[in-house]
Amino acid sequence: MKGTDPENPEVTIERTARKLAAGSYVLNANKGKKERIGRLLEMHANSREDVKLALTGDIVALAGLKDTVTGETLCDPDNPIVLERMDFPDPVIKVEANVGAPQVNYRESISKVSEVKYVHKKQSGGQGQFADVTIRFEPMEAGSGYEFKSEIKGGAVPREYIPGVMKGLEECMNNGVLAGFPVVDVRAVLVDGSYHDVDSSVLAFQLAARGAFRDGIKKAGPKMLEPIMKVEVVTPEEHLGDVIGDLNSRRGQINSFGDKPGGLKVVDSLVPLAEMFQYVSTLRGMTKGRASYTMQLAKFDVVPQHIQNQLASKEQEVAA
């Protein structure tokens, strides 16, 4: 496999299928020409390191090739072989996209019980608006979602107005008070309230529920939750220490180790999704392209306080 580095056009990138030494000759099987490998280089982001020998499976840069272009096969002159070239057809569909940094799908929740009374009152001539609600917010088990419950007795809030309270709360659940992320694992209990025979309406109770949500969640110890990924890395044993150190630097929690045939090690860990961006490039660099990984969502967990403060500050700046 071979490609040109656009930043260093005199350098080509190859994945070796046999031992390869600096100063040796290879055959360009497509053109029938021999090429001398001046230098072998290991690439590390924007830096490079000279090596004398590349082993099977290593990804290295070759310096000094003159007549080789992307897609051509370099092989042993005594054992010529031509591998199938990869063809990339011209695109037939044009898609416009907004490209930016990946965004983590955080959640918000609460850590303690709070109870608030909120009165929505508006009078501007003619029929006004009036709704009085007392709502208790309770934390629930992780993964429970959202639940509404009414404990109204004696008709303090007429039955026909309760759907307004439910709708107002449900609308707010999509936009938390810390950084605007969805709110989960919360039970809202309508405890008490009052109404006006003329000025009360479903809309008035909907607006009152919104105000109660803002006040109540702020008093209930709001917290942010981040997605935690189950990450499995398969790596050669000689790179195991580097892989573990890198996962630890990403706030990872190492759970177990395992073995695979061929001297490979398996590392199972839990790592926040926010720390996994660009991981594939880092992993390839530290293991010379010989390691691989998979990840899937394991759970949501509480964000460290300093990161929560950063996210909340960023949301306030955007709102301003």
pLDDT confidence band for 10 (50 / 70 / 90)? low
* 182 and 234 part of one domain: no
* 232 and 197 part of one domain: no
Of the residues 190, 220, 250, which one is the last residue of a structural domain?
220
CATH of the domain at 288: 3.30.70.240
**Is 316 within the bounds of a domain?**
no
**Is 317 within the bounds of a domain?**
no
For residue 59, what is the DSSP state?
E
Task: Kindly state the average pLDDT of the residues 215-219.
Answer: 96
Which residue has 């070796």 as its token pair? 16
* 118 and 204 part of one domain: yes
Least Cα distance to 50 among 40, 60, 58, 59 occurs for 40
Contact 182, 107 (CB under 8 A): yes
Number of Cβ within 10 Å of residue 158's Cβ equals: 12
Residue 3 confidence (pLDDT): 47
**Is 88 within the bounds of a domain?**
no
Least Cα distance to 226 among 161, 306, 159 occurs for 306
- Our measurement of the distance from residue 254's CA atom to the centroid of its chain's CA atoms, rounded to an integer in Å, reads 19
Measured CA distances, 49 to 16, 35, 64, 241 (Å): 17, 21, 16, 21
* 64 and 116 part of one domain: no
**Is 176 within the bounds of a domain?**
yes
Count how many domains the chain has: 3
The boundaries of the domain holding residue 16 are: 2-75
Contact 224, 179 (CB under 8 A): yes
Number of helical H runs and strand E runs in the chain: 5, 19
**Is 267 within the bounds of a domain?**
yes
**Is 182 within the bounds of a domain?**
yes
Task: Strands of 141-263 (E only): list them.
Answer: 146-150, 186-194, 222-236, 253-260
* 261 and 279 part of one domain: yes
**Is 273 within the bounds of a domain?**
yes
* 241 and 202 part of one domain: no
pLDDT confidence band for 87 (50 / 70 / 90)? confident
Q: Provide the whole-model pTM.
A: 0.65
Instruction: Summarize pLDDT for 266-279 with one digit per residue, the tens.
Output: 999 999 999 999 89
* 279 and 216 part of one domain: no
- Tell me the torsion sign for CA atoms 198, 199, 203, 206: negative
**Is 186 within the bounds of a domain?**
yes
